[in-house]
């Protein structure tokens, strides 16, 4: 017998028994008791048990970062019964965006993704989330660090939610500094760092066995240093690309000479996903380099009994450093169903609540996106014995805003190509940046 038929039969038996005992006023549904009193029976609706909504969340994080993300996903899934998040790991941020582009083309998109793209938001690939945020009673928009939250806005609407903040800081071996009589507080400029790197470099003939410093591969570090020197990517009116100015050329050639001529610095490039990043970290941890420039989010992978952290320096005669501080943001693809969008916002709200963003900062070194996270008891306790957690916050207080590429990425791509020429191919900065300027300016001019 089916469940429906079995329930129906039981219902009929119960009704017949009730009618026999009490009688029923025809057409009214009221019950007449033996004493003649008429009562209206209360009807309790049977509870409706619905299955939880299962959604995919894509993210390109490896190592300890990936492990901590999975911990929060599991914690969220265990905390409630409405939504189940299935984390889908990509090799890195770039692969995440590439796979998302393919998913958008097929219509088979994840409900949420650790990725943001202003151009794609304008094209309708991402959904605005203002209403979804308003539907979350525990969202508390005002508690977010507003500079991070504002980075997720496109044309006055919120499209992306900041998950954590990041800035590139400096990590160094304590023993290397002590052995060479170097104090972190004395390294106020890049010129100071270059001199320290030369002092800490160990060479056997023409071969360097210990490098004084290792910048991270890519344009980001050199862009930070260029901004700190007073350079800018675009003119104030936004009509001219400025990446071939003296500030840029001098900065990029500074790094080229240290890498290729002095050989006191080197970079790891290529490989799968974050391979180059972890090779750089390994060099420092194994004593093959005295320090490196990396993400605030590297802290979960480092041993701070060996390593310490400091802010990026400025330039002699210019002032303190002004490296970029930006939010890593998540978005909800517009092709996701309405049910999946609501489920995605529930997950993103959970990840960014005060307790969890404090947990993320403690375990990764990334900057919390909520103001209240700094008052979290666990964060306060951790920061007292781990002062390196404060370095990204201190640097972010005088950082530059992230560049929003009006060409949809063509200026940024030109800078990436130029960085490879300088860092890998030993092409003079003036030549590499001039070519990048021509490509970028052509893309910018098309917008007029």
Check whether residue 143 and residue 109 sit in a common domain: yes
User: Are 434 and 353 in the same domain?
Assistant: no
- Flag whether 26 is in a domain: no
- Half-sphere exposure of 354 toward its Cβ, with a 13 Å CA cutoff? 15
pTM to 2 decimals? 0.78
Of 330, 290, 317, 322, which Cα lies nearest the Cα of 306? 290
290 and 341 part of one domain: no
279 lies in the same domain as 361: no
Buried b or exposed e, range 89-103, using 16+ CB within 10 angstroms: bbbbbeebbebbeeb
CA dihedral 199, 203, 207, 212 (to 10 degrees): -30
Mean pLDDT computed over 87-97:
95
Domain enclosing residue 157, as ranges: 53-166+326-396
Tell me the per-residue pLDDT of 264-284, one tens digit each, with 9 for 90 and over: 999 999 999 999 999 999 999
337: domain CATH number is: 3.40.190.10
Query: Would you say residue 25 has pLDDT above 70?
Result: no
Picking from 63, 111, 120, the residue whose alpha carbon sits closest to that of residue 88 is 111
Cβ-Cβ contacts under 8 Å for 243 (sequence gap 6 or more): 226, 231, 233, 414, 415, 418, 433, 436, 437, 440
Tokens of 139: 């969202």
Helix intervals (H) in 257-305: 275-285
Task: Looking at the structure, tell me whether residues 192 and 298 fall in a common domain.
Answer: yes
Alpha carbon distance 377, 299 (integer Å): 20
CA-based radius of gyration for the chain? 29
Within 10 angstroms of residue 291's Cβ, the number of other Cβ atoms is: 28
Residue-wise pLDDT for 27-41, tens only, equals 444 434 434 444 444
Of 328, 405, 329, 332, the closest CA to residue 126 belongs to 332
Instruction: Indicate if 181 and 286 belong to the same structural domain.
Output: yes
Q: What is the total count of domains within the chain?
A: 2
What tens digit of pLDDT does each residue of 125-169 get?
999 999 999 999 999 999 999 989 999 999 999 999 999 999 999
Q: Are strands 207-210 and 112-113 parallel, antiparallel or unpaired?
A: unpaired
Q: Is residue 13 very low, low, confident or very high in pLDDT (cuts 50, 70, 90)? A: very low
pLDDT at 248 over 90: yes
Whether residues 181 and 300 share a domain: the answer is yes
- State the residue for tokens 């939880």: 52
φ, ψ at 147 (rounded to 5°): -65, -35
Considering the domain architecture, whether residues 280 and 429 belong to the same structural domain is answered as yes
Token readout for 124 is 């309708």
Do 264 and 292 share a domain, yes or no? yes
pLDDT above 50 (res 261): yes
Return d(Cα 411, Cα 234) in angstroms, integer: 10
Residues 76 and 150 in one domain: yes
pLDDT of 21 strictly over 60: no
Residues 184 and 139 in one domain: no
Do both 273 and 181 map to the same domain?
A: yes
Q: Is residue 209 part of a domain?
A: yes
């Amino acid at each position: 017998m089916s469940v429906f038929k079995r329930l129906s039969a039981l219902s009929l038996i119960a009704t017949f028994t009730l009618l026999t005992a009490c009688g029923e006023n025809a057409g009214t549904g009221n019950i007449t008791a033996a004493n003649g009193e008429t009562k209206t029976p209360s009807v309790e609706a049977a509870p409706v048990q619905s299955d939880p909504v299962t959604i995919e969340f894509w993210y390109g994080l490896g190592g300890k970062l990936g492990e901590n993300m999975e911990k929060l996903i599991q914690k969220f899934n265990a905390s409630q019964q409405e939504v189940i998040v299935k984390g889908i790991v990509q090799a890195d941020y770039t692969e995440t965006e590439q796979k998302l582009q393919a998913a958008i083309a097929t219509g088979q998109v994840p409900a949420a993704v650790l990725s943001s793209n202003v151009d794609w938001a304008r094209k309708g690939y991402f959904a605005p989330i203002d209403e979804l945020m308003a539907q979350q009673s525990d969202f508390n928009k005002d508690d977010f660090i507003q500079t991070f939250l504002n980075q997720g806005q496109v044309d006055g609407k919120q499209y992306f939610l900041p998950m954590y903040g990041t800035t590139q800081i400096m990590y160094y071996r304590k023993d290397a500094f002590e052995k060479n009589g170097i104090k972190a507080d004395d390294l106020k400029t890049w010129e100071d760092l270059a001199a320290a790197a030369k002092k800490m470099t160990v060479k056997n003939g023409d071969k360097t066995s210990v490098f004084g410093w290792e910048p991270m591969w890519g344009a980001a570090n050199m862009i930070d240093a260029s901004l700190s020197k007073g350079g800018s990517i675009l003119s104030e009116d936004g009509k001219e690309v400025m990446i071939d100015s003296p500030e840029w050329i001098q900065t990029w050639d500074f790094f080229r000479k240290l890498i290729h001529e002095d050989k006191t610095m080197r970079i790891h490039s290529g490989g799968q996903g974050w391979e180059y990043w972890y090779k750089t970290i390994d060099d420092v941890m194994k004593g093959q380099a005295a320090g490196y420039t990396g993400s605030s989010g590297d802290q979960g992978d480092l041993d701070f009994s060996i390593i310490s952290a400091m802010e990026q320096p400025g330039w002699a005669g210019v002032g303190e450093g002004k490296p970029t501080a930006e939010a890593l943001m998540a978005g909800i693809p517009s092709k996701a169903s309405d049910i999946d969008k609501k489920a995605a916002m529930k997950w993103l709200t959970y990840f960014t609540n005060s307790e969890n963003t404090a947990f993320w900062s403690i375990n990764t070194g990334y900057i919390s996106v909520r103001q209240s996270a700094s008052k979290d008891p666990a964060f306060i306790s951790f920061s007292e014995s781990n002062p390196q957690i404060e370095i990204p916050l201190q640097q972010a207080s005088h950082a530059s805003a992230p560049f929003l590429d009006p060409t949809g990425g063509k200026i940024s791509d030109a800078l990436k190509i130029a960085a490879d020429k300088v860092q890998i191919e030993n092409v003079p900065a003036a030549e590499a940046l001039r070519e990048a300027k021509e490509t970028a300016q052509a893309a910018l001019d098309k917008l007029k």
